[in-house]
A = this chain, B = another copy of it.
Amino acid sequence: MIKIKDVAIEAGVSVATVSRVLNNNGYVHEDTRKLVNDAIQQLNYKPNEVARSLYKKKSRLIGLLLPDIRNPFFPELARGVEDEMQEQGFRLMIGNADEMPAKESEYIETFIQNNVIGIISATSHGDRDHYNNLSLPIVFLDRVSNHHPSVYANGVEGGKIAAKVLLKRGSQTITVLRGPADLPTAQDRFRGAIDELSHSNAKVNVMSTTSFSFEEAQKWAHELFEEFPETDGVIASNDIVAAAVLHEAHRLGKSLPEDLQIIGFDDIPLSSLLFPPLSTIRQPAYDMGKEAAKLLIKLIQNEPVSQKNIQMPVTFIERQTTRKEE
């Protein structure tokens, strides 16, 4: 079936522009209108009247709930969502809930007051009541939900890979930074790492941390080497924390990766610019955002969905904070 997107591609304009021509609302330049009408004829496009009436009556607004856009993992995720939405003619309202349930439910209420037609939520409280009583489609992103569709990376596998890398390359005293206890994604990574390490002869230390903020990460990095000075391998809960550990290691005059190996999680854009460039477990943030958007749009349009829980692969990005494999 020919879709509105095909018309847009043929005419070389956006889906939103084709919609404006079809619905005869909003300004469209005469030349552009001709391009669109030619493309419609060319492809013999028959607008789906159900979809059109939906389009006319309903908003094209989607709510996106994030923990905090200042964590450099989330801008990538958000752009993935936005670019896919933009391409298909939808728009975003964004809220940062700071992992606070009260703020989260305030945003959900605001979304509904503004007639959003679907929600993508990247916050932790997926199984809370405020999601169960909603009558619109929801997709969880970077979060696993038992009751709703979701798109997330394989954190357990990521933790396992990180542990395997450090073990294989000779770390003997490995300190694992356990991310926030209420973040299931952080706990998955942690569990994967611990599981793998428990089958080895390495000495394992665990250090609890409570957030991913830049300031606090520096404090933990300091405490890590105070408390576990013999550490020769660090599995960090994400790249921000890894960057702080790297920074502290320099301050203490350690050479990397000879004295100390560090492995992060996420692969944020700045990781390759650290010194030495950070080895890390990559989550495909941008693609995860796009997948979540695609899934939500299918749900909104009542299209068949073969897989409601999409697990995306993680990969080891080898840079210079881990030794070469022997």
Residue numbers of A with Cβ under 8 A of B are 14, 16-17, 26-27, 59-61, 68-70, 72, 74-76, 78-79, 82, 86, 91-96, 103, 106-107, 109-110, 113-114, 214, 218, 240, 243-244, 246-247, 250, 269-270, 272-275, 277
Evaluate contact between A68 and B72: CB separation under 8 angstroms.
Answer: no
Number of copies: 2
Give the nearest-CB partner of A107 in chain B.
B91
Evaluate contact between B79 and A26: CB separation under 8 angstroms.
Answer: no
Which residues of B lie under 8 Å from residue A16 when comparing CB positions?
106, 109-110
Q: Indicate which residue in B103, B106, B109, B273 contacts A243 across the interface (CB closer than 8 Å).
A: B273
Q: Indicate which residue in B69, B86, B96, B274 contacts A275 across the interface (CB closer than 8 Å).
A: B274
Given contacts A69-B78, A79-B69, A93-B91, contact A214 B246 (CB under 8 A): no
In angstroms, Cα B12 to Cα A291, docked, is 39
Q: Least Cβ distance of A24 to chain B in Å?
A: 14
Evaluate contact between B95 and A110: CB separation under 8 angstroms.
Answer: no
Q: Least Cβ distance of A249 to chain B in Å?
A: 10
Residue of A60, A74, A113 ringed by the most chain B CB atoms within 10 A: A113
Q: Least Cβ distance of A100 to chain B in Å?
A: 11
Which residues of B lie under 8 Å from residue A69 when comparing CB positions?
69, 75, 78-79
Which residues of B lie under 8 Å from residue A96 when comparing CB positions?
79, 82
Which residues of B lie under 8 Å from residue A275 when comparing CB positions?
246-247, 250, 274-275
In angstroms, Cα B96 to Cα A92, docked, is 10
Evaluate contact between A26 and B273: CB separation under 8 angstroms.
Answer: no
Evaluate contact between B70 and A91: CB separation under 8 angstroms.
Answer: no
Q: Indicate which residue in B27, B76, B82, B95 contacts A92 across the interface (CB closer than 8 Å).
A: B95
Q: Indicate which residue in B72, B78, B107, B218 contacts A72 across the interface (CB closer than 8 Å).
A: B72
Residue of A26, A61, A92, A94 ringed by the most chain B CB atoms within 10 A: A94
Which residues of B lie under 8 Å from residue A92 when comparing CB positions?
93-95
Give the nearest-CB partner of A110 in chain B.
B91
Evaluate contact between B110 and A273: CB separation under 8 angstroms.
Answer: no
In angstroms, Cα B59 to Cα A76, docked, is 29
Which residues of B lie under 8 Å from residue A26 when comparing CB positions?
109, 113
Evaluate contact between A70 and B247: CB separation under 8 angstroms.
Answer: no
Q: A14-B106, A27-B109 are in contact. List 11 more A-B contacts (CB 8 A).
A: A26-B109, A69-B79, A72-B270, A75-B75, A91-B95, A91-B107, A240-B270, A243-B270, A243-B273, A246-B275, A250-B275
Give the nearest-CB partner of A82 in chain B.
B96
Evaluate contact between A114 and B59: CB separation under 8 angstroms.
Answer: yes
Given contacts A92-B94, A95-B92, A250-B275, contact A70 B106 (CB under 8 A): no
